[in-house]
Amino acid sequence: MNQARLLSRRWQVSLLAFASTVTVAIMVTAPCVAQTTGATSLPRPATAPCPVSVAPGSRCLTGRDSAGAHYWLAVPPNWNGVLVVHAHGGPELGEAKAERASADLTRWSIWTHAGYAYAGSGFRQGGVQVRSAAEDTERVRQIFVAEVGAPRRTVLHGQSWGASVAARAAELFTRTADGKAPFDAVLLTSGVLGGGTQSYHFRLDLRVVYQAICANHPLPDEPPYPLWQGLPLSSSLTRAELATRIDTCTGVRKKAAERSAAQQRNLKTLTEVIAIPESSLVGHMNWATWHFQDIVFKRLNGRNPFANATVRYRGSPDDEALNAKVSRYQADPTARATLGEDTDPQGRIPVPVLTVHGIDDTVAFVELESQFRDTMVLGGGAERLVQTFTQDHEHSYLSDAQYVAAIGALLDWVERGEKPSADSVAARCRTVDARFDPGTGCRFRPEFTPRSLSSRVPAR
């Protein structure tokens, strides 16, 4: 792998100056009908230098769409006629940022090296709002068609939280104004695929168990609040300050030998009860703080979608004492339904779907794939789903060869009717490994089947 592509894998993003800010007047209309506006009515996106990781000789364009989302398009010189529409992970909080869209193209520049065109939206707003991000994703596909032309095939790719965005987009937008399918196939990688009503429960579990053990988020002298809120809107707590509190209680940022006996005990209890590795503790606590705040106050008018009233926590030195101490909450049914309507996949994707997930993913548990399969069964889409798993503990990026093998298998399924298996995807990876990740990029485990989500996160 050349140096530029190595940098892209590690998120060393080169920020680019935009030639201009443009508004593209393409509107996403009613669900299930993605209408396209004629190219003659559109202001042109700006041509821009491609990020250094993109395939040499590619044509890149950038702009800001009619809803305010920044986007990038990239067409390699050897374009094979297939477009990859990308939905990014996160989600970011706060206002839309131009650099988010360019960073996504940098990270996923493998598509251009493999001959695929790329279209990616940075989304019009930050926060946990899946449907609007799905609309932005469909809109950037329309922009590509208007500016570059209709691709031979279109694959919708969602990564991490973006996998839920892609799943919802594939369900919401199933035909264009001329009756054609906007997407031929869907690739979901490292996906948060339980929807908001299933994927986030364990972070409430983390907050209540953490507070029972550490009692410093909030501190005793801070105004109390229900932990499902994440954080009161009036709070000025920073991520650095929260990390310091977590470290004070658990020593998580110290070497194991430098932790006190109490810190060792607290950290062991937290990681065993919640079933997360210590390396992910601060990240999940951030999610359970500021993203919960976003969900509760910006999406649900201050109502609670999370519950733990019936959960019995296990794995501590004294489970009875722990369970007597943790705070208990009941969900507001309306809040839960509202969150689910926006974020939960329905299993009604009408085109082939392939998932790739690291078995030891510490951010999006691999057991979420079991939940997604159940969803596809209930929605009638099970025959259109193939799931693959890799011996990876990474979340953000697995390997070039694994992604190229997955998308190639998807396209064969679409074009030849050859439904892949986990074994055939693994075999295909070995044929492309020499080009993209010589000797190191293929870690598929065809025999692996994830346990149920309830085996890791208590049902409620």
C-alpha 81, offset from chain centre: 26
Kindly list the averaged pLDDT for each block of 10 residues, start to end, along the chain of length 460: 41 32 36 39 79 97 94 98 97 91 97 98 94 97 96 98 98 92 98 95 97 98 97 98 98 97 98 96 98 97 97 97 98 98 97 98 97 98 97 95 98 97 97 85 97 95
Both tokens of 267, joined, read 């950290």
Cis, bond preceding 151 (omega within 30 deg of 0): no
Q: Are 218 and 286 in contact (CB under 8 A)?
A: no
Q: What share of the chain is helix, strand, coil (3-state, %, to 5)?
A: 40, 10, 45
SS3 253: coil
Q: Provide the terminal-to-terminal Cα distance of the chain, rounded to the nearest Å.
A: 46
- Which amino acid appears at position 304 of this protein? N
Tell me what pLDDT residue 22 has: 32
pTM: 0.90
Angle at 172 between CA 301 and CA 143, to 5 degrees: 100
The closest alpha carbon to 209, from 298, 133, 271, 141, belongs to 271
* Spatial contact of 22 and 46, defined as CB atoms under 8 Å apart: yes
Q: Which DSSP helix (H) or strand (E) runs through 222?
A: none
Domains of the chain: 3-194+344-455 (3.40.50.1820), 197-340 (no CATH)
Model pLDDT, residue 177: 87
User: Which bin fits 302, alpha (ψ -120 to 50), beta or left (φ > 0)?
Assistant: left
Judge whether 354 and 406 are in contact, CB under 8 Å: yes
Cβ atoms of 91 and 34 within 8 Å: the answer is no
pLDDT, residue 43, reads 57
Q: Which residues pair with 353 in a beta bridge?
A: 186, 385
Residues 6+ apart with CB under 8 A from 459: none
Q: Nearest CA to 184 among 349, 421, 357, 429?
A: 349
Contact residues for 235 (Cβ-Cβ < 8 A; gap 6+): none
Contacts of 196 (CB under 8 A, 6+ apart): 128, 130, 295, 305, 339, 340, 342, 343, 344
